[in-house]
Structure 1
Amino acid sequence: MSLYRRLILVAFVLTAVVIVFGAYVRLADAGLGCPDWPGCYGQVSPHHAQADILQTHAVDPQGPVSLPKAWKEMIHRYLAASLGLLILMIAALSWRRRDRQGVAPGVAALLVGVVIFQGLLGKWTVTLLLKPAIVTAHLLGGLTTLALLAWLGLRAHRVARLPMPPGVRAVARVGLVLLVAQIVLGGWTSTNYAALACTDFPTCHGSFSPETDYGNAFHIVRELGMTADGDFLPLPALTAIHWSHRLGAVVAAAALCLLAWLLARRQSTQPLGLALLAAITLQVALGIANVVFGLPLALAVAHNAGAVLLVALLVSINYRVGPLRAEAAVGRRKVAGRGKHEHENSYA
């Protein structure tokens, strides 16, 4: 395996770790464990900032700052910084080998831009005190990084594309769009702490039509837990966020199950179809379990990991069933042309 391929694989795995660990940090209420950026109280580690952390914690023991929380936050930053360096190396190698087959320098350059923006979102997450719009965008940026690395990896390993009917390709694309929309809803639910706005299942507050406040629920520019007018976010708004995520799950799961069935009925794509069906089933089960069991930390983190798995699968599926690459099509025509020429010569 070439250095380029190894770097992409390591970066892909590290991205998944950063996303899942970031979810753990947020769910463990450690997102402000170090209230400044990029260091911790101006220091490179919580160990060096221990006096400031302990002093802040003594003033507000129930606050977001403590030594364990600070370490969680800083470990996440260390991992993210390492990922950024890996992606810069991938982009540099991609540029140097831009004439080789399987290398996509344009995508690698785009990836560098995404990571730089991710760094800014990470900073704003802390300095703007966990604004839901910023935190949700940070999650999407992480998943975008994962998707681009997955695409680069598939291209670098020259994974074969499979000839598929246009209808299957269309369903795969729609499925990816719906998955992204559902992840946005899930991120909005998590960052607004609305995961327990409905504690019963399948109903919400004993009804399939609970009281909701969509105006305040999806007002983007506002502080955490507040309306745009500065009032506390009411329960109907939190209910609207949670209920929208549930309804979105039904739509997305239906589309992805259709895609899984279309893939599983063809021998060439059967493993992809079965893997997708298993991932959907697991993710839906985790979502239900989080409601039924009151959002235990392990299940909540696993639900985020399920989203990572689904994104990776959907990118892979869309790559595999997408239109044949130009060079592959040319190669097929050349082989067909040689075969026709040899056939004609046999009668000469």
Structure 2
Amino acid sequence: MTESVLHQDVRTPEDSQPRDKIRRLVFRMAIATLILMAIGSATRVMNAGLACPDWPLCYGQLVPSSQMNLQVFLEWFHRLDAAVIGLGAIALTAVSWWNRRSLPTWLPIASTFALFLVIFQGVLGGLTVTQLLRFDIVTAHLGTALLFFTTLLVIGAALLPYQGTGTASKLPWISLSAAIFVYLQSLLGGLVGSQWALHQCFGAQELCTVMNSHIAGVIPPTVATIAVVVFAWRTPALHPLLRKLANLAGGLLVLQIALGVATFRLHLQVEPLTVAHQAVGAALLGSMVVFTVLALRDRNASVVVPDPSL
């Protein structure tokens, strides 16, 4: 039977070692990427995006000790974390291709795609500095980071030792819709942040359309996420991990809405709330992505493969 991402976890002990190493690596990289996005958000709200006037070095140095302050540290540490993730992506690709004969056929390709995203993300990171934080480049920078984050989670979730119950039914498509809506809403949020649309709207009645689009955009991901939670609880014999992920998504949704309301009412004046708003949004996206992959694997468990000998 041809191996795919959605097939159940059938492997020999010899295959387990590289799979387990890669799975641990991608989840660690995913956590580092989530932290990276939070630091990037902090860099923006603290007006530290141009704290290092050059790129890829900072004031022409690896560690700008004489110029170091909070703003410089945020931008410098953001680049440092990105460099570590880049090295991790190189290692992931190398290990995947080296052990390709004992790994799923899709894994080296997926790892290479992740490496491409990191390289592209680095280019966008450089352009954000050289183009003086141009809003479309900043938004693309966030969008690529989220895509890289989801790619890592897809790889990790596909490599998890997981035996589905065959009860997921339509849940994968509902959660996939939720993930897409959350991703698009995150891009709208990035656009609001990169253009300072909330400040512009409150201060000069400009860019209110951008801000209002983000506010109205809350509805689709909220409805889709609630649907995942409801259907998960109404599905009998659903795998406990899927139920936990649905609960996690529901909790993150409530927290995200609360943070959004707080940041709006406080006019983005409390920086930690703004950073938490973006970080929780990314975490909600991640929970829906992992849920979707596992739900697809669970649904595939109900597919009976005919025995060719019969």
TM-score, normalised via structure 1 length: 0.75
Rate the CA distance shift 1:172–1:325 in 2: closer, same or farther, 3 A: closer
Residue 10 of structure 2 corresponds to none
Cross-structure match for 1:179: 182
1:265 maps to 234
Q: Which amino acid aligns with 2:290?
A: S
Return the match for 1:316 from 278, 281, 290: 290
Deviation at 1:236, TM superposition (A): 4.0
What are the superposed Cα offsets for residues 61-104 of structure 1, whole Å, 9 maximum, x if unpaired? xxxxx743222111110110011001110111111121224571
Shift in CA distance, 292/138, structure 1 to aligned 2, threshold 3 Å: same
Residue matched to 1:281: 254
Q: Deviations over 1:42-69 (max 9, x none)?
A: 222212xx3xx5xxxxxxxxxxxx7432
Q: Comparing 165-174 with 22-31, which one deviates more in the overlay? A: 165-174
- 1:105 and 1:196 map into 2 onto residues whose CA distance is 45
- Cα separation, 1, equivalents of 2:130 and 2:263: 30
What is residue 253 of structure 1 aligned with on the other side?
Answer: 222
Distance 2:184 2:28 in 1: 27
Tell me the equivalent position of 1:301. Answer: 275
Distance 2:184 2:167 in 1: 25
Aligned length: 286
Taking the aligned partners of 1:95 and 1:308, their CA distance within structure 2 comes to: 29
Answer with 234-243 or 259-268: which moved more.
234-243
The alpha-carbon deviation at position 294 of structure 1 amounts to 2.9
Counterparts of 1:276 and 1:285, CA distance in 2: 14
Is 1:112 the equivalent of 2:115? yes
Task: Give the deviation of 1:256 after TM superposition.
Answer: 1.5
Question: Which residue, 5, 22, 45 being the options, matches 1:27?
Answer: 45
For the residue of structure 1 that corresponds to 2:23, the secondary structure is: helix
Q: Distance in 2 between matches of 1:306 and 1:246?
A: 16
**Seq. identity, %:** 29
In 2: Cα distance, 1:284 partner to 1:159 partner: 32
With over 3 angstroms needed to count, the CA separation of the structure-2 counterparts of 1:196 and 1:40, relative to structure 1, is same
Query: Which one-letter code corresponds to 1:90 in the other structure?
Result: L
Deviations 1:5-51 (A, max 9, x none): 3322221111111111111111111000011100122222212xx3x
Would the aligned equivalents of 1:263 and 1:272 in 2 still touch at CA under 8 Å? no
**SS in structure 1 of the partner of residue 143 of structure 2:** helix
Distance 1:99 1:122 in 2: 35
Cα deviation per residue 1:183-236 (whole Å; 9 max; x = unaligned)?
Answer: 11100001111234566xxxxxxxxxxxxxxxxxxxxxxxxxxxxxxxxxx944
In 2, are the aligned partners of 1:182 and 1:249 still within 8 Å (CA)?
A: yes
Match of 2:54 among 19, 36, 40: 36
What is the alpha-carbon distance in structure 1 between the residues aligned to residue 133 and residue 158 of structure 2? 36
Asked whether the 8 Å contact 2:54–2:130 carries over to 1, the reply is yes
Aligned mates of 1:272, 1:325 — CA distance in 2: 16
How do residues 1-348 of structure 1 correspond to structure 2 at under 5 angstroms?
A: 2-47=20-65, 50=66, 53=67, 67-102=69-104, 104-161=107-164, 163-164=166-167, 167-197=170-200, 235-266=204-235, 267-268=237-238, 269-295=242-268, 296-322=270-296, 333=305
Shift of 1:161: 4.5
Judging by fraction of residues, say which structure has more helix. Answer: 2
What is the alpha-carbon root mean square deviation over aligned residues? 2.6
Mapped partners of 2:170, 2:103: distance in 1: 29
Q: Kindly tell me: are residues 130 and 285 of structure 1, through their superposed partners in 2, closer, same or farther at Cα, counting changes over 3 Å? A: same
Output the CA distance in 1 between the equivalents of 2:201 and 2:137: 24
Kept in 1, the 8 Å contact 2:22–2:92? The answer is: yes
* 8 A Cα contact 2:146 2:183, kept in partner: no
TM superposition shift of 1:115:
0.4
Structure 2 distance, partners of 1:263, 1:101, is 31
Which amino acid in structure 2 is aligned with residue 75 of structure 1? Answer: F
> 1:135, CA displacement in angstroms?
0.4
**How far did 1:154 drift?**
1.3
SS in 2 for 1:258: helix
Q: Which amino acid aligns with 1:82?
A: V
**Higher relative contact order, structure no. (Cα contacts within 8 Å, ≥ 6 residues apart):** 2
SS in 2 for 1:163: coil
Deviation (angstroms), 1:325: 8.9
Task: Tell me the TM-score normalised to structure 2 length.
Answer: 0.84
Please list the CA deviations of residues 152-173 of structure 1 after superposition, one character each: whole Å capped at 9, or x if unmatched: 1112223345535653332222
Counterpart contact for 2:166–2:302, Cα < 8 Å: no
